[in-house]
């Protein structure tokens, strides 16, 4: 029998048995290592690094060996860590190491709210800064005390929004673009069609910058108990200052080296530093990770992050995207689980493919017939990202969440000039009036361009109708606040595009209420789509899937070094243009605004 199985190539082969045993052994060792490492001291200081852009979710690769430790904590993880620390008696205090923060202001606002709740629980929160800039300092000011490392400096020089325009240099290469821009505030096309911003582009960018600036001044002055005009004078007159100068101006509480701070903790708690501090990721793993800890009723948090794309449109190592099949699977998991009583749709997306966003909305509306859905908008929920939020019975956003951008555009490249410059000849045989109209190697003629624009207009009208139905407004009322206009969350509330100002915790409470769950019990959260751990990959025994995940993790890590380039305005739109030969109608935010 054994010989017959060997002939058939089954798992009685020595190589196959060895592989199975190796996988089980590694899994067992990994489990024991994880359990051993998850033991926490009876009393410790929770040391949480906060840095970078703060992605809404960590990629799958963050949980893989040799990859997770270097991956910055996501907003999802940071909020979970701070929430668990509130009721954890082992946590003496929290030390936030804030460095190089590049997150949107809306995410900083949500973290500030979480810090405030932690302080209310009696836990002291200290911010440790190393050469901080405005975004670092803004978050640090929400803590009980602010310490700046001795020997560093502070660069508090204000906020700015940069816009880049590629039309003129591209023309020199023989490349130009034709755009169906519906309507004038839908300014994402301008990076490719203009050499300077339109009045509408400047209007909405200035409005966002005004809101962010006012909020920054108010937040710091309120937390630090100083006059807003006094703080603004520091920014306008000093900009760069030493920690000692900042101490004299009451902007910080202490100037110290890291070792001095560690010694103070050691003296107070009577332990050496090696036994005193627990890192944020270590604490998260020791307290159950991102999975529900009990078997009771729960609320599913379904994330739509990054660009919205059609199935299979994302690539390995590419920036975060969400496709239709991923949302469909996540919703099915939530609907099939009898313990899930409601769904919170968590959105951090500038939009993307208009048809994909429309399909996601349809799936969500069907799911809402079975279980309540509440939408929670994070850093950005614009265009297609806002469209999917319409599935929520209530929509929550932070005051500075980039919201709205109700509109569409389509952009078609014309590479005819490039072919001419390089001497490439193109011969085309057609049957049908418009067979070659959408090629990227020539411009539209008048009739083709009219059809191009009509398509964008049809999709815009459909978008308006969806918003009117979802927000109980007339199409005319929606059009008055649409046309591609982008709003801060605060202004979006005023014009009726959202229902409440609040973060994920507020949306969870509303979902709990709609599902008629016990108001006194804190519901467990089931985050979807679920992230696989490296141990789960091993136990599944799918070597190809594990290899793909590892490859994606390595690529993301490598591409992270090119982050400044990939964050140039226009790059998101350019990635879409390069996906297919045909022009695409995009429900994408009007301008890639980065306020820093």
Residues 354 and 317 in one domain: yes
Residues 411 and 523 in one domain: yes
Question: What pLDDT was estimated at residue 568?
Answer: 53
CA distances from 457 to 454, 460, 462 (A): 5, 5, 9
The answer to whether residue 194 sits within a structural domain is: no
- CA dihedral over 232, 233, 237, 238, signed as positive or negative: negative
Say what the pTM is: 0.86
Residues 12 and 103 in one domain: no
Residues 28 and 153 in one domain: no
The answer to whether residue 594 sits within a structural domain is: no
Question: What pLDDT was estimated at residue 24?
Answer: 52
> pLDDT grade, residue 180 (50/70/90)?
confident
Q: Quick one: how many helices (H) and strands (E) in the chain?
A: 25, 20
- Out of 28-37, 189-198, 508-517, least confident range: 28-37
Mean of the per-residue pLDDT values for the chain?
Answer: 86
Residues 125 and 25 in one domain: no
Q: Radius of gyration of the chain from Cα atoms? A: 26
Residues 28 and 87 in one domain: no
- % the chain with pLDDT above 90: 69
Residues 24 and 46 in one domain: no
Summarised one tens digit per residue, pLDDT across range 271-309 is 998 899 999 999 999 999 998 887 889 999 999 999 999
Find the CATH number of the domain harbouring 308. 3.90.226.10
Residue 427 has pLDDT above 50, yes or no: yes
Question: What pLDDT was estimated at residue 28?
Answer: 53
Residues 275 and 314 in one domain: no
What DSSP string runs through 487-505? E-HHHHHHTTS-SEE--HH
- Residue 26: give the domain boundaries: 2-33
- Out of 57-71, 174-188, 343-357, 490-504, least confident range: 57-71
User: Is position 191 annotated as part of the catalytic site?
Assistant: no
Domain termination residue (choose one: 263, 286, 309) = 286
More confident residue, 564 or 203: 203
The answer to whether residue 13 sits within a structural domain is: yes
Domain termination residue (choose one: 231, 259, 286) = 286
Active-site residue, selected from the candidate residues 383, 410, 448, 488: 383
CA distance linking residue 204 with residue 132, whole number of Å: 28
CA distance linking residue 268 with residue 362, whole number of Å: 57
Give the number of domains in the chain: 3
CA distance linking residue 339 with residue 333, whole number of Å: 11
Active-site residue, selected from the candidate residues 135, 186, 341, 394: 186
Q: Which residues contact 1 (CB under 8 A, 6 or more apart)?
A: none
Residues 124 and 47 in one domain: yes
Residues 325 and 408 in one domain: yes
User: Is position 383 annotated as part of the catalytic site?
Assistant: yes
């Amino acid at each position: 029998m054994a010989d017959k199985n060997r002939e058939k190539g089954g798992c009685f082969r020595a190589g196959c048995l060895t592989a199975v045993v190796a996988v089980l052994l590694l899994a067992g060792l990994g489990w024991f290592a994880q359990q051993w490492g998850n033991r926490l001291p009876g009393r410790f200081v929770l040391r949480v690094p906060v840095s970078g852009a703060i992605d809404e979710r960590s990629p799958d690769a963050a949980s893989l060996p040799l990859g997770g430790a270097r991956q910055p904590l996501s907003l999802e993880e940071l909020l979970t860590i701070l929430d668990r620390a509130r009721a954890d008696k082992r946590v003496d205090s929290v030390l936030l190491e804030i460095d190089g923060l590049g997150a949107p202001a809306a995410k900083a606002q949500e973290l500030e709210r979480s810090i405030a709740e932690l302080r209310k629980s009696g836990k002291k929160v200290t911010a440790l800064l190393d050469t901080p800039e405005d975004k670092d300092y803004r978050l640090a000011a929400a803590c009980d005390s602010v310490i700046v490392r001795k020997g560093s400096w502070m660069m508090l020089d204000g906020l700015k929004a940069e816009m880049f325009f590629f039309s003129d240099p591209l023309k020199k290469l023989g490349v130009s673009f034709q755009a169906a821009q519906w309507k004038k505030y839908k300014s994402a096309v301008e990076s490719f069609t203009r050499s300077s911003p339109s009045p509408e582009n400047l209007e909405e960018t200035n409005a966002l910058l005004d809101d962010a600036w006012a909020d920054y001044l108010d937040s710091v002055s309120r937390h630090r108990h100083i006059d807003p005009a006094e703080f603004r004078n520091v920014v306008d007159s000093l900009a760069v200052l030493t920690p000692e100068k900042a101490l004299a101006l009451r902007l910080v509480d202490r100037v110290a080296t890291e070792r001095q701070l560690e010694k103070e903790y050691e003296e107070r708690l009577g332990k050496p530093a090696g036994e005193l501090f627990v890192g944020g990721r270590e604490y998260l793993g020791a307290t159950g990770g991102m999975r529900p800890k009990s078997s009771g009723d729960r609320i599913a948090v379904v994330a739509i992050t990054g660009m919205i794309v059609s199935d299979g449109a994302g690539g390995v190592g590419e920036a975060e995207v969400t496709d239709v099949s991923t949302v469909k699977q996540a919703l099915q998991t939530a609907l099939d689980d009898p313990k899930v009583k409601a769904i919170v749709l968590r959105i951090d997306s500038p939009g993307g493919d208009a048809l994909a966003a429309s399909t996601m909305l349809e799936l969500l509306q069907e799911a809402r017939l079975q279980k309540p859905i509440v939408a929670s908008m994070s850093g950005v929920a614009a265009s297609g990202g806002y469209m999917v939020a319409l599935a929520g019975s209530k929509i929550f956003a932070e005051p500075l969440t980039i919201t709205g951008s109700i509109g569409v555009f389509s952009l078609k490249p014309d590479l005819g000039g490039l072919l001419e410059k390089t001497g490439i000849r193109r011969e085309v045989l057609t049957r049908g009036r418009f067979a070659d109209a959408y090629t990227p190697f020539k411009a539209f003629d008048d009739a083709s361009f009219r059809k191009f624009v009509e398509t964008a207009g049809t999709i815009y009208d459909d978008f308006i109708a969806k918003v009117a139905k979802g927000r109980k407004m007339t199409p005319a009322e929606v059009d008055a606040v649409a046309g591609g206009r982008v709003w801060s969350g605060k202004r979006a509330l005023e014009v009726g595009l959202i229902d409440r100002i609040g973060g994920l915790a507020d949306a969870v409470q509303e979902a709990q209420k709609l599902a008629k769950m016990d108001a006194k019990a804190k519901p467990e959260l089931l985050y979807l789509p679920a992230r696989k751990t490296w141990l789960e990959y091993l136990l599944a025994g799918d070597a190809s899937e594990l290899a793909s995940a590892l490859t994606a993790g390595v690529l993301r890590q490598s591409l992270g070094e090119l982050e400044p380039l990939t964050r140039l305005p226009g790059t998101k739109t350019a990635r879409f243009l390069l996906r297919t030969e045909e022009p695409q109608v995009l429900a994408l935010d009007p301008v890639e605004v980065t306020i820093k």
